[in-house]
Structure 1
Amino acid sequence: MAFDIKEYLSLPVLLVIFLLILSLMFVFPVLKMIILGAILAYGIRPIALKIQSKLKYSSVSILLAMVVVLIPLLLLVGYITYELSSLISAMLASSSYMEFNSAVSQLVTYLPVNGDPTSISTYLNNSFESISSFLLNYSATALSKFANITLDLFILVCSIFYFVRDGDKCLNFIKDFIPDESKEFFDNTVESVKDVLRSIFYGHFLTSVIIGIFGCIGYSILGYPFGIFLGVITGILQLIPVFGPWPIYWALFFIDLLGGNYPRAIIVLLFGFFLSTVDMYIRPALSSHYADIHPLILLVGFLSGPLVYGIVGFIVGPLILGVTYVVLDCYRKEYLLGDG
């Protein structure tokens, strides 16, 4: 039977395609915030429903749920920015920076490399100064884009609110365009996407929070300056599969080793091994209840996401790749293997 393209490209279809492309051009600059809003709305919706069971007012319940979730996140970002700038400023302005230089020079003498230790030490110090300058300049640039950041935050808040309130209506609207023979595939895909969201929320973000709390407590008890900040960074690094908490506790180990504080160096190393071991048990226990996603998919999402969407990419990247994987898997089972 000959394929007649005119049957499919009728005037209404062409008009819909044109308007969708035109709309996407307008939406694309804020698309990352809309996607992030939909993701956060999925996590906020259960909280809003619980509050609504007490208040009976939908809009007020959603706003309260958003405050419960978003305010801590915004405070966390502000805290990290403040502590990071304070840490860099303190190291550059105090005698601790000279101690750092001395420690670097001492470390270079033990490295199995050929060359002048002084020149290598100078190179490492210059690299550290360049990185510090880049971080400060990046922070200043971000502040200079305050108008764009404000717009993004406004879009994010509005997206969360309306996705929480009208997410079911949006899903049903999309489902109306699905042919009857594909509705089962659509429903299975939606459930699989929900499993991915649960897996990443509970298996990865919750694990990160637990490891971060352990890190804050442990580093503070061991007497490290900025102990809480180090714990927060440990929790954030825990989100990245390749990294985890090891860059922090190994750095502290070498700093204590060079400073002659051998007992604390051994203790922080053992504490770091404890954090890594806890992760090995907590993450699979939480993730396996929902969706089994290959670690490489999450790794690529975490590393490439920020390159495409900036800091938001740490959340959007792995979620988009995870959702894409389960949609392809559903299609494979439904149409290629005939399991549906």
Structure 2
Amino acid sequence: MGIDIKEQLTPPVLLIIFLLIVSLMFIFPVLNMVILGAILAYGVRPVANKIQSKLKYSSVSILLAMVVILIPLILLVAYIVMELSGILSGFLATNSYNDINATITSVSAYLPGNFDINSISANINSSLHEIGSYALNYLVKFASSLMNVTLDLFILVCSVFYFVRDGERCLEFIKSFVPDDSKDFFDKTVESVKDVLRSIFYGHFLTSVIIGIFAAIGYSLLGYPYGIFLGVITGILQLIPVFGPWPIYWALFFMDVMSGNYPRAVIVLLFGFFLSTVDMYIRPALSSHYADIHPLILLIGFLSGPLVYGIVGFIVGPLILGITYAVLDNYRKEFLMGDA
């Protein structure tokens, strides 16, 4: 028996569709933060539940759980900024810069007599002025974009808080619109989404943490001056497909070769191959333990996600593709294979 679309599109249904479209237009600019908030809420909820078992107020427990999880991230960012500033300051301290006019005067002795020193000096000063203006404009643009970043962070924090507190009620609200004959499919889909989240969290983030720890220990034992920092950067690069740890250990290899430290160059290259091999075993073992999703699906999500949502896409991209695959697989098992 066919379904008459005209009978289904009643005035209340048309009004709901219209409001949903308008609402989506409003939230689309911050939709990535809302989705990321829902993802992070899944990781914050267990911590909040443990804290709430000792406290009476759920809101306080959620805030404390968010602080507990955010503190390591804040400390990590602060550590990276401090190390980078230390490296740059040390680099600049080893390079002395003379006054521009004095440098031009000293160089003028080696130039033919038809060169106008004053003209060269004026052109250089003009170029420096333009560079300064460009830098100032960049800082102004950065300051203006800082408001957008602050708004995104505020929406992210609020999304995490309310998804942790009211996530179950949100699912029940959505489930109330699902027909009775599809509720099992809905429940299985929710469980599949949780499996995809576990796969991404444990299979990719935990892998990057393990590789970063191995790298920090190895680089420190090999005597590199910023071994821990190099390990942190290696762990971050491990999250990015195609990159992984190889840019770090190949750069160290070439630096050792140029400095004549051939034994350490060979050792760091072998160590880098060890890190890449460990990743090939750890990542599939952890990911497949929670969700049976083909690695190509997650790889495409990691690569295409940042093109759509920026840096947040590294999480949102594979999550959306993984959930889409899980939903299609559940539909295939529930309706297509079940009817066969």
Give the TM bin, normalised by the shorter chain.
Answer: 0.7 to 0.9
Aligned to 1:274: 274
Aligned to 1:261: 261
Aligned to 1:18: 18
SS at structure 1 position matched to 2:178: coil
Whether contact under 8 Å (1:241, 1:298) holds in the other structure is no
Shift in CA distance, 214/299, structure 1 to aligned 2, threshold 3 Å: same
Aligned to 2:177: 177
Measured against aligned partners, the alpha-carbon deviations of 1:175-202 in whole angstroms (never above 9, x if no partner) come to 0001111111111111111100001111
Shift in CA distance, 143/330, structure 1 to aligned 2, threshold 3 Å: farther
Measured against aligned partners, the alpha-carbon deviations of 1:272-314 in whole angstroms (never above 9, x if no partner) come to 1222232233222222221022121111111111111111111
TM-fit CA distance, 1:252: 0.9
Matched, 1:214 2:214: yes
Please give the alpha-carbon distance, in whole angstroms, between the structure 1 residues aligned to 2:138 and 2:324.
Answer: 32
Please give the alpha-carbon distance, in whole angstroms, between the structure 2 residues aligned to 1:205 and 1:80.
Answer: 18
Q: 2:43 is aligned with what amino acid?
A: G
Aligned to 2:123: none
Please give the alpha-carbon distance, in whole angstroms, between the structure 2 residues aligned to 1:197 and 1:206.
Answer: 12
Please give the alpha-carbon distance, in whole angstroms, between the structure 2 residues aligned to 1:153 and 1:8.
Answer: 40
How many residues get paired? Answer: 302
Aligned to 2:127: none
Aligned to 1:195: 195
Aligned to 2:38: 38
Aligned to 1:286: 286
TM-fit CA distance, 1:91: 5.0
TM-fit CA distance, 1:225: 3.3
TM-fit CA distance, 1:210: 1.1
Whether contact under 8 Å (1:38, 1:160) holds in the other structure is yes
Measured against aligned partners, the alpha-carbon deviations of 1:148-172 in whole angstroms (never above 9, x if no partner) come to 1111111001100010011000000
Aligned to 2:232: 232
SS at structure 2 position matched to 1:300: helix
Which segments of 5 or more consecutive residues in structure 1 lack a partner in the other structure? 96-136
**Percent identity of equivalent pairs:** 80
TM-fit CA distance, 1:207: 0.8
Whether contact under 8 Å (2:249, 2:268) holds in the other structure is yes
Aligned to 2:157: 157
Please give the alpha-carbon distance, in whole angstroms, between the structure 1 residues aligned to 2:80 and 2:270.
Answer: 26
Whether contact under 8 Å (2:245, 2:275) holds in the other structure is yes
1:1-340 alignment to 2 at 5 Å?
3-84=3-84, 87=87, 91=91, 94=94, 142=142, 144-338=144-338
Measured against aligned partners, the alpha-carbon deviations of 1:241-267 in whole angstroms (never above 9, x if no partner) come to 432212211111111111111121122
Shift in CA distance, 61/3, structure 1 to aligned 2, threshold 3 Å: closer
Whether contact under 8 Å (2:48, 2:61) holds in the other structure is yes
Shift in CA distance, 141/333, structure 1 to aligned 2, threshold 3 Å: farther
Shift in CA distance, 303/81, structure 1 to aligned 2, threshold 3 Å: farther
SS at structure 2 position matched to 1:145: helix
Choose 1 or 2 for highest CA Rg: 2
Please give the alpha-carbon distance, in whole angstroms, between the structure 2 residues aligned to 1:139 and 1:247.
Answer: 30
TM-fit CA distance, 1:3: 4.7
TM-fit CA distance, 1:76: 2.5
Shift in CA distance, 271/82, structure 1 to aligned 2, threshold 3 Å: same
TM-fit CA distance, 1:94: 4.0
Structure 2 length as normaliser, TM-score? 0.81
Whether contact under 8 Å (1:246, 1:276) holds in the other structure is yes
Shift in CA distance, 286/142, structure 1 to aligned 2, threshold 3 Å: farther
TM-fit CA distance, 1:87: 4.4
Measured against aligned partners, the alpha-carbon deviations of 1:120-174 in whole angstroms (never above 9, x if no partner) come to xxxxxxxxxxxxxxxxx98985554111111111100110001001100000000
Q: 1:187 is aligned with what amino acid?
A: D
Please give the alpha-carbon distance, in whole angstroms, between the structure 2 residues aligned to 1:80 and 1:318.
Answer: 26
Shift in CA distance, 271/53, structure 1 to aligned 2, threshold 3 Å: same
